[in-house]
Amino acid sequence: MAAIRRLEDLQDAVHGAGLDAVQYSKGALHGSLAVTEHLGATFTVAHVGSHIAIRGPLSTDRITIGIGLRQPEGSRQWMREVRTGTVGIFLPGEEHQGIHAAGSSYVAVALSREGLEGLAAELDLILEPALFRSSGLHPVRLAEPRVAELARSFGPYGPGPGDAPPSVYDCRSTLEIAVTHLARAPRGDLLRGPSSGRERIVTKALDYAMDRLDGPVSVEEMARAAHTSVRSLHRAFRSVLGESPASHLRRIRLHRIRKGLASPKEARCSVTRVAYRHGMTQLGRMARWYQEVFGELPSATLAGEDGALEGTRDGNREETPKMNLAETA
């Protein structure tokens, strides 16, 4: 079992996925990940103690089935609100967008389509072709007794100190529960994308803003892109993401800065250069915001865990301008 302490630990929130993560909780993260291989499938069990979002394809060559063992209020997939028992199907290469409220737990199973259909045949079940057309959420949640059974099976693998991997029995049971649900539950199109007007507003506004974060993006521009008023835009962001549009864009910029600072490719770059690249020019404020979110200054991220000099790695030093934490806009 691996502990979740830093944002980078969430890259394998589903084993091997290499996901991008966004942190909503302040300071150090906490939680745990346990991974095991059984029956030709990879099982990831996660207990997430912080409020985070993860984004990216879950696998390049296998289907991933995700089951929410505990999904507190505020948990979402593709901006659509999800609850405990929600079952998601994620096809190879297709992007997953999940927001996990603090206290979330899930199990994810990655296996080939042949393996999934082979297990269904063993159970004398048939999986509809519609399940494999695109990624999405199953229209029916897993029954509470089944969720409770899975939670009991995987509870020992986090967030406590135990280090035993899930057993073959637990993994086989999980596969059977998932396949039976997919085959027998009322059939219908998989659900994907926003389900409410406010979710649609947020989705449209972010679709506009995300490709423009190397420069200024105004709230008015976002409102026009979402075909709504500035007031309605603020209400939608507060309802869906719990923060204003400007605060959310700042959070995304800070995470892009962190990813740049932590990358070996930026070994000779200064904090200033990386910040400017992502549209952050108020360096004093940026440093303060960065520390509030991540619990460390940008220079500490740039130095890395090996104690390299500020503004450098591997002894390749580049002077970093001092930042005045009292700086204002």
The correct CATH number of 195-242 out of 3.90.1720, 3.40.50, 2.60.40, 1.10.10 is: 1.10.10
CA distance 156 to 159: 8
Q: How confident is the model at residue 168 (pLDDT cuts 50, 70, 90)?
A: confident
Residue with tokens 């700086």: 327
Q: How confident is the model at residue 213 (pLDDT cuts 50, 70, 90)?
A: confident
Q: How confident is the model at residue 278 (pLDDT cuts 50, 70, 90)?
A: confident
**Percent of residues, the chain, with pLDDT higher than 70:** 86
Dihedral over alpha carbons 292, 294, 296, 299 (to 10 degrees): -110
Residues contacting 274, CB < 8 A, separation 6+: 257, 260, 261, 266, 298, 302
The answer to whether 71 touches 17, Cβ cutoff 8 Å, is no
Stated as kind and residue range, the H or E segment containing 3 is strand 2-3
Residues contacting 243, CB < 8 A, separation 6+: 237, 251
CA distance 8 to 19: 9
Is 63 strand, coil or helix? Answer: strand
The answer to whether 260 touches 278, Cβ cutoff 8 Å, is yes
Interior CA angle at 150 toward 20 and 157, to 5°? Answer: 60
> What is the pLDDT at residue 312?
36
CA distance 44 to 106: 8
> Where is mean pLDDT largest: 97-106, 268-277, 309-318?
97-106
Is 65 strand, coil or helix? Answer: strand
Model pTM? 0.81
Mean pLDDT of the chain: 84
Q: Which of 13, 6, 8, 2 is nearest to 264 (CA)?
A: 8
Interior CA angle at 165 toward 35 and 62, to 5°? Answer: 30
Q: Cis before residue 245, ω within 30 degrees of 0?
A: no
Q: What is the mean pLDDT of residues 13-32?
A: 79
The structure tokens listed for 108 are 């994810």
Residues contacting 324, CB < 8 A, separation 6+: 283, 284
**How many whole angstroms from its chain centre is CA 296?**
21
What is the Rg, in whole angstroms, of the alpha carbon atoms belonging to the chain?
Answer: 21
CA distance 201 to 196: 9
Q: Taking 90 as the threshold, does the pLDDT of residue 209 lie above it?
A: yes
> What is the pLDDT at residue 116?
95
> What is the pLDDT at residue 321?
36
Count of C-beta atoms within a 10 Å radius of residue 304: 15
> What is the pLDDT at residue 311?
36
Q: Taking 90 as the threshold, does the pLDDT of residue 35 lie above it?
A: no
List pLDDT tens digits, range 215-262.
Answer: 889 999 999 999 999 999 999 999 999 999 999 999 999 998 998 888
The answer to whether 46 touches 105, Cβ cutoff 8 Å, is yes
CA distance 45 to 34: 5
Q: How confident is the model at residue 319 (pLDDT cuts 50, 70, 90)?
A: very low
The answer to whether 201 touches 236, Cβ cutoff 8 Å, is yes
The answer to whether 103 touches 125, Cβ cutoff 8 Å, is no
Q: Where are the domains of the chain?
A: 2-184, 195-242, 253-329
Q: Taking 90 as the threshold, does the pLDDT of residue 175 lie above it?
A: yes
List pLDDT tens digits, range 245-255.
Answer: 999 999 999 99
CA distance 233 to 249: 13
Q: What is the CATH number of domain 2-184?
A: 2.60.120.10
Q: Taking 50 as the threshold, does the pLDDT of residue 159 lie above it?
A: no
Q: Which of 38, 187, 58, 66 is nearest to 127 (CA)?
A: 187
> What is the pLDDT at residue 17?
67
